[in-house]
Amino acid sequence: GAVVSQHPSWVICKSGTSVKIECRSLDFQATTMFWYRQFPKQSLMLMATSNEGSKATYEQGVEKDKFLINHASLTLSTLTVTSAHPEDSSFYICSARDLMRGAEETQYFGPGTRLLVL
Amino acid sequence: AQTVTQSQPEMSVQEAETVTLSCTYDTSESNYYLFWYKQPPSRQMILVIRQEAYKQQNATENRFSVNFQKAAKSFSLKISDSQLGDTAMYFCALENAGNMLTFGGGTRLMVKP
């Protein structure tokens, strides 16, 4: 089956530093990857859609300069939280779509990254 | 804009019993997909079941089945013979033509022994 990995699985950083989270599709190619944020006991909120070779599309209210997304290849997208602050602490989840399976194929989710900013 | 509503924040069921989780949605699109995802304590999102809006037949996956009422914009999940491993958060989700998922607020299901 299709597998999506995320690295790191958890990270603790100091306020003001930047943190990079990687999302990889391990056994398939993904033209599109999605980044979600999930607060404790809440649902997933779409942050941005990452397309290989082009700029990401951000949802309303998400600061593109704070959450930098790069989708440099068909198997890798990165989310960089710049100048992180405690309010950025959250669970970040990526998902990827399998290009070869066409538009009807579902998204596959990574295991998530827990970010804690002190 | 599309919305997904899960009106039951928490539910519990006895092991081996049947439970139904509710979901209603709203979309202006005619072609869309509906999903139920399970998020156990590990927080890994797991696809439970998927329904194409253009298919009238309700999707079924082993102990999991849906009741899809397109006119009423309702998409409930029935779990039969509940097992302890079914304990998790369950999210209903709607995918539009742009391939973006909109999630409901979730239902926390507890299966009791």
> pLDDT per residue over B49-71, tens digit each?
999 998 889 999 999 999 999 99
The whole-angstrom separation of Cα A32 and Cα B101 is 13
For residues B109 and B59, the answer to whether their CB atoms sit within 8 Å is no
Q: How confident is the model at residue B98 (pLDDT cuts 50, 70, 90)?
A: confident
Chain B hits for A95, CB-CB cut-off 8 Å, are 45, 101
For B58, which DSSP code? Answer: P
Give the pLDDT band (50/70/90) at residue B33: very high
Residue with tokens 């082993």: B62
| Of the candidates B97, B89, B107, the residue with the CA atom closest to the CA atom of residue B2 | B97
Interfacial residues of A (vs B; Cβ cutoff 8 Å): 32, 34, 38, 42-46, 49, 91, 93, 95, 97, 103-104, 106-107, 109, 111-112
Residues written for chain A: 118
* Minimum Cα–Cα distance from B92: chain A residue: A43
**Cα separation, B61 vs A81, whole angstroms:** 38
Residues 69-88 of B with CB under 8 A from A: none
Q: Is residue A52's pLDDT more than 70?
A: yes
With CB atoms and an 8 Å threshold, state whether A112 touches B44: yes
Cβ proximity of A31 and A51 under 8 Å: yes
Measured distance CA(B92)–CA(B38) in Å, rounded:
9
